[in-house]
Structure 1
Amino acid sequence: MYCEALGEPTQEKNSLDFTQRIERKLAEYDASQSALKRWLFEIVSWCMSLVCMVAVVGIYVYLKGQPISASKSGILLTTANVLGKIASAALIVPTSEALGQLKWNWFNSAKAMWDFEIFDKATRGPWGAAMLLFRTRGRSLAALGALLVILLLAIDTFFQQVVELPERWSREEVSSKIPRTEWYNPGVEKEFRGGFPIASNNPDLFHIVEKFSYGNGTQPIQVGNGSQPEIPLTCPTSKCTWPVYETLGVCSQCADISSYLTYACLTSKIDWLSSLPGGFTAEEKYPNGTMCGYFLNSTSEHPVLMSGRLMDANESTPAESLLMRTLPLTHLTTREPLYGNGSVLFKHMRNTIVDVLIVSAVNASMETVHRRIPPAAQECVLYWCVKTIKSTYDFGKYEENISETHFNSTAGPFPWLAFPYVDEMGSGTDIFYMQDIVVDGRTSDGRNISGYGTSNTTAYKVIQSFIDIFPSFATTTAATIDPTLRYKLSREGLAYNRQLRFNPWISPYIVPRHLERLAIAMTNVIRSAPGHTMLQGDAFSRETYVAIHWEWLAFPFLLLILSLVFLVLTIVKTSGDGSLGIWKTSAMPALIYSLPPDETQGQFTSSATWSSGKGAPKKTRIKLLPNMGWRVSGQSHLSRSPRLPSGERVPRGWI
């Protein structure tokens, strides 16, 4: 091997460029008698990895729980990523250098020549490290170094798993608003006829009641598994919440009254035929007839057929059948209460909007009437109440949970007064609702409820919205004919009949659920009326924040500790190799100590040397003697220094 000098020889210091001077300086440290100096570069590299990992931990401690949009968050995450790369790269240096030194220590004794190649590859990558691990079978200190080289491949992956960027809801400075009503005052104008005030409907609530009287009611706009709000709330973001609040509204209840019905065949006044006229005086003209079915008060002077059929004079041929009847427990004309105070099972409720009996033949079938199958019979009430509500709004979907309801259950006089009159315009009845609606109480958490309600005038207008549908009847004359609804009985003249595509009061439809939906719709109207107040709540938006999974740092710190252990053990093990030298991963020994003599070198230059077939050379062992060079198995003499080919002179500029 020859070394070429560029140009004429000058001072040695000037003949070396910058990189060569660095390598020479490192070689001086490697040749030092101090173990600290010999391994200073590796110790500094390990310390650099330690500092970087500690810095990464400090950055993550600072960033934990911080929004990614916060100042410096992005820069710090990038910095932590860079420091993680530096930490993993810095760990490779002491590991590979210590493994390289163990290579020369390995050849202090005679070893297979191929071990040199395996050790050399182990310092350069995982494939050689895996080969060395298999070669040593894990019984050598070098096996620990090879294992570290393999494990260091995964350290970046573990650093990346430490940080997660999930999303969470963040409270915004702007607030949300939701309506609630304490005193309902819709401000409806009064109507007069001939200078006298007349009963009129609440137009807002009347349209809601009408939709539920003759169909399936209002249908909210569906959003996913929920629906859009039907109240004028304000949510400036995609999610809003409000504290628990109270509002005036309408509630509903239903209870079974089947035990109050009795099957019988009786002759009595017939008021349910579809051909009968309406009006306050029509009852006087209703015919008598024989009916078989389920009666209310069957043993009284005025039994009421709730579900049954009409018999002809001979009681042999069935005629028109009554499939459904709604019977309000307040007289339509005089507003006198029926059954005591106008209720059967809800006598404790004061100022109800409507208290009605709803009886329907099973499956609205004429056959079930003829077979005397008991009908579905319920008493249902709509009443003023105060609802305790928890509301949420999430991506267009509004949900509310009613945790409590309060209503007026105090005893008091019946609220209706009626006075018959006769004047030049005819006869009639003056009807007055005498009481304001007042609901007081206390919530389960101790908050007072007071000042909730509405005026007697408003209450009267709301009650008027139901006189068209309560009372009403559904009848049929044949099983193949759809039931005919007879309604608007308070109106004079011919009967009002209607065939409904959807009759919510007749089986198999669920009346309690229908009334519950009606109560919610009425509550929404009350909360949306003029005079409501807006309750402020919180508005939230999605933000990305930094979540730290500390467990993923266990692996990098474990490698950091193992690298230190491997480095220290290597220093201790090689500290007695003073004559051998601290070469680490340097290739200089391969240049300085050539294989002994020419005939030995020649046997490794032929192609047969690397053949694995027949005639391949036997396993060759080599041993490094610091003062004598390489010793090859089967050779009895050594070469102390390189020799030039015979007959050649050293050219000018070569050493």
Structure 2
Amino acid sequence: MAHYAPIQDLSYDSQLSPKGGTPNQEEHSADVGDASMAVPELAIYHDQENTVSIELEEVERSWNDAALLTAKSSRVPSGSSETLGKGASPFAAVHPLQGATPSLKSSNEGSGPPRAWYKDGTWTIEIVTMFVSLAALAAIIGLIAHYDRRSLYEWPYRLTLNTAIAVLATMSVTTLGISLQNGLSQMKWIRFKESKVPLSDMETFDEASRGVVGAIKLLASRRGGLLGSAGAIIAILTLAFSPFSQQIVTYELRAVNHPQNATIPRALNFTGALPGTTSPTGYVPVLPLKSAVYNGLFAENGRPAASLKFDCQTGNCTWPVFDTLGVCYECVPLTSVLTKYCGGNPANASDCGWQVPQGAKLNDSRQVFSMTPYIPSAAGDMPYSTILRLIFMGTEAADGPAGNSNPWAKQCSLSACLQTINATVSVGALAENVTHTVVNQTVIDTTTQASGTDLGVYVTDKNNTSPSSASYLLGQDSMLSLRGWFTSVFAAGGATRTTNNSTITINDRTVAVNLTVGISNGTTFFDSDIVTAFYWNYYEYAQPGQDGLAMLMADVATSVTVAFRSLWGAEPVHGPAVSTESYIHVRWGFLVLPVLVVLGADLFLVGAIYRTQKTRTRPLKSSALAMLFHGLEDDTRARFGSTDSLQEKKKQAKKFRVQLDESYDRGSVLRGVMDHSHLVSSKRGQESARGNVRVSTCKHEFRLL
């Protein structure tokens, strides 16, 4: 006769706590997928003749909602005095995952109201830090916009502008990192709440919230979804935030006008002269004008305007184009009209020489160079503005071999003129460029002019090609003083070369020079220093594209012009004094990345908040306690207990899917998702001696018989 122990009447809504008696218990387990799932311990009381067959039926179709196990008596021996209490289950149905009796309702159909998504935390800190990040970025933009293209001297603080930008950039990227980190951390809860994903995704999202390396791993695993991947990209771009912000501002140099004006003189007229009985014209130049002529002839410094005084305190000045009275030069070749002539004995080559129609000659074969001056006469044989005309002749080319006969002739003149000048000073050095000249070509016979007639030289730009159309005057007395003095200074003379010094009579006017330039065979004798200067220039500057005679005439003309501008009749020309300063230059292109990072982080945070609310996920973010409290269910955790290796556990986690279960009545847990397609038990392949156990599956139903 069978004996049955009384079975406690347990409610489905309470925890089971068996009382009284110590039954013989047999533990059963069933393999679900490729892992072991714990099956409720069933207390079976039996005798040797009769067995009890128990059928367990899963009511709900979802494993996550806990199976309701109902017990049915399929075979009860007759005559039993033991009966089941009304409404009582013959076996304690223990939940296989939590060890508690499951609710009759699913997690979405709990008897209580759903848990509000905002009660477990807020986004206040993240929103505040994003506003701080935006404010820091706005401060950077405002700061550089205010000081863009301003002088560096206008920055009033001890800290440099780059330091201020670095501080603001650090503030922006640091506060941005708080919201970005928590947003990425929240994405893991949303992902586990929305779908069944591998357990290893928990670590992937957690690493992504810690830094760039984790963000790269999240992108590489392609487990972040659209929003999570966007957050990972923004986290990676934050690396370039500070370097790009430091490239926004550079310091460059520019020329600026100095408050004090620069001045340079120009000559409106020149009338200075002194009476002199030694001059054929009755006037001699003033001493500064004589000095200017000699400076042009002999200084040979390449800067005949160096003596011009100007005011430029900064060392860099510019002036508007201006006109001035000056002296211009002109050189024209006469070689084409050069003819040979011979003296009384044409058969004697030494009596032959060369001449031009103007009358200048090379007297004999020993004379290798000559200078012949022509001063305008009162009768008007030249334009009235002409001061001096010189004709140079020679028998040897400047770049030819010594002794090779190659006669040449050139005419150069000095005239009063109007010059249009563009003047600049750079690093303290004056540079003037004559852009336009006007010469009065009028021929005047002064002998026919009435007494008291103004015979000054007036020069006007009738074509209005110069900045001013005013007339510029070289006074009559000044013109006569130059002409009279030049008669003696530029007296006719030449250079004679011989190999026998004894054949040459040396007098006070003869200068013997053993030249090292040009033609150097033998000894050369010069009639004056002026002739020596022109001869030297002719052979010294014999390279292609150079004309030594024209260069010396230009130096004399420039030097006399400087004298005109430095003496009576001069006035200052005002222009800006230019100084070089450092200024702040903003490269706005480098601001694009910081703006994109901050705005992208803002949008990512908004998306994370929206998804949190939409999925009704609690904003647990990066809380370490939340990770502990939302642990794995017992059965899922037991599946990872077979190995102590962390690496093996990580490999298992990639293949094991879990989902966040936030049911109202049982708390939150990461619940494993079983594959019920094959439920095989290693301990139920055969009938037990104490009871027949058969496990069968059909979708989500299983029975124990």
**1:97 and 2:189 are equivalent in the alignment:** no
**1:353 and 2:387 are equivalent in the alignment:** yes
Task: Give the match for residue 38 of structure 2.
Answer: none
1:184, distance to aligned residue in structure 2 (A):
2.2
**1:403 and 2:463 are equivalent in the alignment:** no
Cα-to-partner distance string for 1:171-194 (whole Å, 9 max, x where unaligned): 222222212222224565x4557x
SS class of match (2:247): helix
CA contact under 8 A between 2:612 and 2:618: conserved in structure 1?
no
- Deviation larger for 61-70 or 437-446: 437-446
Identify the match of residue 352 of structure 2 among 283, 286, 292: 292
Q: CA RMSD in A?
A: 4.3
1:248, distance to aligned residue in structure 2 (A):
1.8
**1:390 and 2:422 are equivalent in the alignment:** yes
Task: Give the match for residue 605 of structure 2.
Answer: 567
Q: 1:238 to 1:217 in 2, by over 3 A?
A: closer
1:146, distance to aligned residue in structure 2 (A):
0.5
Q: 1:513 to 1:353 in 2, by over 3 A?
A: same
Task: Give the match for residue 647 of structure 2.
Answer: 610
Task: Give the match for residue 656 of structure 2.
Answer: 621
1:256-335 correspondence runs (5 A): 256-267=333-344, 291-297=351-357, 304-306=360-362, 309-310=364-365, 320=366, 322-330=367-375
Task: State the alpha-carbon separation in 2 of the partners of residues 416 and 474 from structure 1.
Answer: 40
Task: Give the match for residue 484 of structure 1.
Answer: 524
Identify the match of residue 538 of structure 1 among 576, 581, 601: 576
Cα-to-partner distance string for 1:53-80 (whole Å, 9 max, x where unaligned): 3343333333233223237577894665
Task: State the alpha-carbon separation in 2 of the partners of residues 497 and 233 from structure 1.
Answer: 30
**How many pairs are equivalent?**
526
Cα-to-partner distance string for 1:490-532 (whole Å, 9 max, x where unaligned): xxxxxx9987796124583522222112211221222223553
Task: Give the match for residue 84 of structure 2.
Answer: none
Instruction: Give the TM-score taking structure 1 as reference length.
Output: 0.69
Amino acid at match of 1:121: E
Identify the match of residue 331 of structure 2 among 254, 276, 301: 254
SS class of match (2:445): coil
SS class of match (1:544): strand
Task: State the alpha-carbon separation in 2 of the partners of residues 267 and 563 from structure 1.
Answer: 109
Identify the match of residue 129 of structure 2 among 45, 56, 68: 45
Identify the match of residue 536 of structure 2 among 503, 511, 529: 503
Task: Give the match for residue 155 of structure 1.
Answer: 241
**1:522 and 2:582 are equivalent in the alignment:** no
Task: Give the match for residue 444 of structure 2.
Answer: 412
Identify the match of residue 493 of structure 2 among 472, 475, 480: 472
Task: State the alpha-carbon separation in 1 of the partners of residues 484 and 211 from structure 2.
Answer: 88
Task: State the alpha-carbon separation in 2 of the partners of residues 165 and 543 from structure 1.
Answer: 10
CA contact under 8 A between 1:216 and 1:504: conserved in structure 2?
no
1:261, distance to aligned residue in structure 2 (A):
1.0
SS class of match (1:99): helix
Q: Which ranges of structure 2 fall in alignment gaps of 5 or more residues? A: 1-114, 500-518, 677-705
Q: 1:34 to 1:609 in 2, by over 3 A?
A: closer
1:570, distance to aligned residue in structure 2 (A):
2.7
Identify the match of residue 239 of structure 1 among 316, 331, 336: 316
Identify the match of residue 450 of structure 1 among 471, 475, 479: 471
CA contact under 8 A between 1:96 and 1:124: conserved in structure 2?
yes
Task: Give the match for residue 255 of structure 2.
Answer: 169
SS class of match (2:320): coil
Task: State the alpha-carbon separation in 2 of the partners of residues 560 and 366 from structure 1.
Answer: 78
Look at both structures and tell me which one has the larger radius of gyration over its CA atoms. Answer: 2
1:233, distance to aligned residue in structure 2 (A):
0.8
Task: State the alpha-carbon separation in 2 of the partners of residues 260 and 138 from structure 1.
Answer: 97
Task: Give the match for residue 275 of structure 1.
Answer: none
1:383, distance to aligned residue in structure 2 (A):
0.9
Task: Give the match for residue 548 of structure 1.
Answer: 586
Task: State the alpha-carbon separation in 2 of the partners of residues 497 and 564 from structure 1.
Answer: 86
Task: Give the match for residue 594 of structure 1.
Answer: 631
CA contact under 8 A between 1:145 and 1:566: conserved in structure 2?
yes
Cα-to-partner distance string for 1:137-194 (whole Å, 9 max, x where unaligned): 7754211111000001212233333323322222222222212222224565x4557x
CA contact under 8 A between 1:472 and 1:485: conserved in structure 2?
no
Q: 1:497 to 1:386 in 2, by over 3 A?
A: closer
Task: Give the match for residue 437 of structure 1.
Answer: 457
1:604, distance to aligned residue in structure 2 (A):
6.8
Amino acid at match of 1:261: L
Instruction: Give the TM-score taking structure 2 as reference length.
Output: 0.64
Amino acid at match of 1:621: F
**1:70 and 2:154 are equivalent in the alignment:** yes
1:473, distance to aligned residue in structure 2 (A):
0.9
Identify the match of residue 219 of structure 2 among 133, 136, 140: 133
CA contact under 8 A between 1:178 and 1:536: conserved in structure 2?
yes
Cα-to-partner distance string for 1:269-305 (whole Å, 9 max, x where unaligned): 9xxxxxxxxxxxxxxxxxx9963343224xxxx9753
1:128, distance to aligned residue in structure 2 (A):
0.9
Amino acid at match of 1:329: Y
1:40, distance to aligned residue in structure 2 (A):
4.1
Task: State the alpha-carbon separation in 2 of the partners of residues 289 and 499 from structure 1.
Answer: 26
Task: State the alpha-carbon separation in 1 of the partners of residues 355 and 280 from structure 2.
Answer: 40
1:216, distance to aligned residue in structure 2 (A):
6.5
Q: 1:411 to 1:218 in 2, by over 3 A?
A: same
Task: State the alpha-carbon separation in 2 of the partners of residues 354 and 497 from structure 1.
Answer: 14
Task: Give the match for residue 170 of structure 2.
Answer: 85
CA contact under 8 A between 1:341 and 1:414: conserved in structure 2?
yes
Task: State the alpha-carbon separation in 2 of the partners of residues 629 and 523 from structure 1.
Answer: 102
**1:217 and 2:300 are equivalent in the alignment:** yes
Cα-to-partner distance string for 1:341-389 (whole Å, 9 max, x where unaligned): 54xxxx5x32312112122334358967654x3x332211111112122
CA contact under 8 A between 1:323 and 1:366: conserved in structure 2?
no
Amino acid at match of 2:622: T
1:199, distance to aligned residue in structure 2 (A):
6.1
1:90, distance to aligned residue in structure 2 (A):
3.3
Task: State the alpha-carbon separation in 2 of the partners of residues 605 and 62 from structure 1.
Answer: 66
